[in-house]
Structure 1
Amino acid sequence: MSEQLSARIFAELESLILIDPHTHINPHAAASTTLADIMGYHYYTELAHSAGLAKELIEEPGIDPKEKVGRLVTQLGDLDNTIQVSWLLDICKEFFDFQDEAITESNWENLYDTAAKKMAQPDWEQQVLKQSGLEQVFLTNDFDDPLEGFDTNLYIPCLRTDDLVFHLSKSETRERLAKSTQMDIGCASTLREAIGKLFSHFTSKGARACAISLPPDFSPVSVTADQADSVVRSLYAGSELSCEEARTVSQFVFWTLAEYCAEHQLPFDLMIGVNRRVYEAGVYQGQDLYDKRTSLILYKDLFNAFPNVTFPVSVLTSTSNQELVSYSWIFPNVVINGHWWYSNTPAFITFDCKSRLEAVPKTKQIGYYSDMYKLEFALPKFRMYRRVLANVLATDFVISRNWSEQRAIELGKLVLRGNVETIFGC
């Protein structure tokens, strides 16, 4: 009975047209052109490297796309237990009519050629969007992105601010900021004004959020322009900052971002807890790991200071998830957001999803985002989440709590789509 119930709920959730609230899609090249675009996703390169494929073979300069896929295929047998390979098979079956049980050294070339022909069709991007049931896709835009040459009603701009907060000490970042704002920046007040110009530019193009990825030791505190001015002047004069001075600049810029989010009524997406370059010899994007020292207590001043700013928060571990559940339980402006990165497997999603649905107001949960770099990944990733969600709704709500099937479906639709619309103003 529970399996049939879960299947019916899943079918209803599968029919829902979605808004994906966080991706890394390039709107100028949203869909893949070869199977290498798909298998070049960091999940496959880092898993293949972990299983024994040399980094030099994966990242050889100038490697032909077909050759790269052939090399990665040699490791797929060791990876066929992973959920990531199930995503790959889902893509190949749904989009490229692949019928075999596994991608092997004997069948991959035919799959590659079939995929290349399909991807060469002029309306391939539209086909993928339609088959995936995607209505809108949120982007992750550099702060100096002109936001031109694409449909901002389909691909929703989002101001990504990591460089501003953590890399302003780089002359390249300062030059990009000056060029994009057409400002002569040299002090805290002009820096603040320049950041304001970025917000005006992004909101004029339909941006729906500001976002940042944060290390586990970052603590946002209020730093005013007066307090930061001498350090900012030193930075723009070319002086090398101490660690403490660099932290002051980061905190000033971050707090300024929060102030402009309040002014422009933009949600501020916080993706908390990633340590960069832990595995320094890893493949591209396969070097970063989570850190259990992360605690949301570091953000209490922020959450208290900006009650009118909505903070959709992503965390990397189930330990952090329990803390996030508690903060979203208490703080009206803290919203649970997706299942990020190392928590993006069915076992962790199930545990985290159960605790969220049991404890947090249903209107404060963004169930899932794909975090994808190519459009083809929306279908298998959201399907994975919808299967988990359907099982949780069936067992924990219909069977255990005597909810009607329709009531459970409506809850699923709310966390999958309805809350994205209300929280981000879509």
Structure 2
Amino acid sequence: MQQETIRERIMQELETVDVVDTHTHLVGDRLNAVDFWQIAHYFWLFRELQAAGYPAHAEQLPVRERIQAFLSAHHASRHTMMNVALSRIFQDLYGIELKDEASVLAADEAVKQSAVQADWAQKVADRLSVREYVVNVPEHAPFEGMRRNAILIPRIDGKIFGWVTEIIESSNPLQAFEKLRETVDALLGGYSKQGCPGIMTTLPRYEAAANQLYDLSASGLVRDQVLMNVLHLICEAAQRHELFVQFFLGVERSWCGEPLPANDPERILKLSGLFERYSCPFELVVASEINNLDVVQAAWNFPNVHVGGHWWYNFRASTYKQSMQYRLEALPALKSSLIASDSRCIEWTYGKIWLVKRVLSEFLAERVASGWLDHAQAIEVARDWLYESAARRYRVQSLNSKG
């Protein structure tokens, strides 16, 4: 009972603690969901509904059949993480409990009404004190109807893989690599002048390590070795232009048509040569459970390495709690950020951030009840994990003003 009381008290306080959402797919001129189905077919929820029997092409069904199929699958999976988030979205934002056909029709109408409200996105953000959102596409950063624009952290993985291909296919790979140095420097220098705090890239599994530079004059170039040399160029430029480098790791797309989580115990080790050689900050965001401890160990060993939120298949209460324990034991709270909603509409940022705040309140209540933290320390850790760590790295005070 004492722990439950502590949790409720902490949760109440966390509702007003500021948040930086460090990874979204929000688009500034269409932040609001347009109807119920845009929310209900969010990728992660859709997967859970499908596992409970929801048709893959439900949008092709007559409306009443579609609603019944949804309700059946939602009821069967109501205990899963994304279904809990969906219920919370409609309960908190619209005052609707999803239980029958009438409630789904009411929810659809409510979403259609909120879709045309100019201040809806800001109202949703204010419900959980989300101050900043991050996007990776320049055109998405101007946020209509909100007090602040998004923070832009440009995504460059498409460029990276193109550069690697150019070097491999060049008649003189070493010369192409040296020419690329100028290209990378100009690109990152331009981002720095725009006020971007860093750059972001995903990386597939790589059979090369950053603790050496590979000979590009040799015959039979290996693609992963070229990739690792290119990463050195990027980190050199990031260091020169005072940008951080954000790595999203742990999802593989080469095994089949579906992106899958890939637990690789050497994933972080192979990058450690970058952390040691360059002084620019690094932020590590992983989608695979096994790497949650690896990124904490990297941040413990290298002052310039920081741990980000949970991505893809790592976004679960169990993995969050486990990694929170890793982080609490090993790292100053300012070295870790928790929130990476990966959301495509403002309503899902609410659902997923509510989930993380709920899990965080449970974790901190356990720590307070067992005597490892007092209440004030618990709230201070939460503030750093939810806001301060990312805010410092992303220089939010000097960014994204709308004037």
Under a length normalisation based on structure 1, what TM-score does the superposition of the two structures give?
Answer: 0.80
Residue 371 of structure 2: which of 401, 408, 411 is its match? 401
User: How far 1:138 moved relative to its partner?
Assistant: 0.8
Partner of 2:191: 202
Residue 358 of structure 2: which of 369, 372, 387 is its match? 387
Partner of 2:401: none
Partner of 2:82: 84
Q: Secondary structure at the match of 2:33?
A: coil
Partner of 2:382: 412
Partner of 2:107: 111
Equivalent positions of 1:182-261 (< 5 A) are 187-217=176-206, 219-221=208-210, 228=216, 244-261=221-238
Report % sequence identity: 22
Cα gap change, 1:246/1:28 in structure 2, threshold over 3 Å: closer, same or farther?
farther
User: How far 1:220 moved relative to its partner?
Assistant: 5.0
Q: Deviations over 1:95-143 (max 9, x none)?
A: 2221x2x3444531221112211222232223223334222111122xx
Letter in 1 for 2:245: F
Cα gap change, 1:118/1:28 in structure 2, threshold over 3 Å: closer, same or farther?
closer
Partner of 1:276: 253
Please tell me whether the aligned partners of residues 211 and 268 of structure 1 are also in contact (alpha carbons under 8 angstroms): yes
Partner of 1:27: 28
User: How far 1:288 moved relative to its partner?
Assistant: 1.3
Q: Deviations over 1:7-32 (max 9, x none)?
A: 11121111112221222212232222
Please tell me whether the aligned partners of residues 96 and 118 of structure 1 are also in contact (alpha carbons under 8 angstroms): no
For residues 368 and 195 of structure 1, the distance between their equivalents in structure 2, rounded to whole angstroms, comes to 29
Partner of 2:297: 326
Please tell me whether the aligned partners of residues 124 and 347 of structure 2 are also in contact (alpha carbons under 8 angstroms): yes
Partner of 2:155: 160
For residues 373 and 311 of structure 1, the distance between their equivalents in structure 2, rounded to whole angstroms, comes to 25
Letter in 2 for 1:197: A
Partner of 1:342: 313
Cα gap change, 1:132/1:31 in structure 2, threshold over 3 Å: closer, same or farther?
farther
Cα gap change, 1:42/1:250 in structure 2, threshold over 3 Å: closer, same or farther?
same
User: How far 1:159 moved relative to its partner?
Assistant: 1.4
Please tell me whether the aligned partners of residues 70 and 108 of structure 1 are also in contact (alpha carbons under 8 angstroms): no
Q: Deviations over 1:20-54 (max 9, x none)?
A: 12222122322222222222311123233333444
Asked whether 1:358 is paired with 2:329, we answer: yes
Q: Deviations over 1:365-399 (max 9, x none)?
A: 11222221211122222222122222222222x23
For residues 149 and 422 of structure 1, the distance between their equivalents in structure 2, rounded to whole angstroms, comes to 21
Cα gap change, 1:42/1:199 in structure 2, threshold over 3 Å: closer, same or farther?
same
CA RMSD of aligned residues (A): 3.2
User: How far 1:275 moved relative to its partner?
Assistant: 0.9
Q: Secondary structure at the match of 1:200?
A: helix
Residue 273 of structure 2: which of 291, 295, 301 is its match? 301
Please tell me whether the aligned partners of residues 370 and 381 of structure 1 are also in contact (alpha carbons under 8 angstroms): yes
Q: Secondary structure at the match of 2:131?
A: strand
User: How far 1:339 moved relative to its partner?
Assistant: 2.0
For residues 395 and 314 of structure 2, the distance between their equivalents in structure 1, rounded to whole angstroms, comes to 27
Partner of 1:183: none
Asked whether 1:50 is paired with 2:51, we answer: yes
Cα gap change, 1:266/1:391 in structure 2, threshold over 3 Å: closer, same or farther?
same
For residues 51 and 206 of structure 2, the distance between their equivalents in structure 1, rounded to whole angstroms, comes to 27
Cα gap change, 1:169/1:251 in structure 2, threshold over 3 Å: closer, same or farther?
closer
Under a length normalisation based on structure 2, what TM-score does the superposition of the two structures give?
Answer: 0.84
User: How far 1:194 moved relative to its partner?
Assistant: 2.6
Q: Secondary structure at the match of 2:26?
A: coil
User: How far 1:74 moved relative to its partner?
Assistant: 4.8
User: How far 1:251 moved relative to its partner?
Assistant: 2.8
Please tell me whether the aligned partners of residues 220 and 255 of structure 1 are also in contact (alpha carbons under 8 angstroms): no
For residues 338 and 13 of structure 1, the distance between their equivalents in structure 2, rounded to whole angstroms, comes to 17
Cα gap change, 1:139/1:69 in structure 2, threshold over 3 Å: closer, same or farther?
farther
For residues 202 and 259 of structure 1, the distance between their equivalents in structure 2, rounded to whole angstroms, comes to 15
Residue 95 of structure 1: which of 93, 96, 100 is its match? 93
For residues 390 and 306 of structure 2, the distance between their equivalents in structure 1, rounded to whole angstroms, comes to 11
For residues 10 and 90 of structure 1, the distance between their equivalents in structure 2, rounded to whole angstroms, comes to 15
Letter in 1 for 2:155: R
Cα gap change, 1:228/1:96 in structure 2, threshold over 3 Å: closer, same or farther?
farther
Q: Deviations over 1:276-302 (max 9, x none)?
A: 15452xxxxxx2111123421111211
Letter in 2 for 1:41: Y
For residues 11 and 407 of structure 1, the distance between their equivalents in structure 2, rounded to whole angstroms, comes to 16
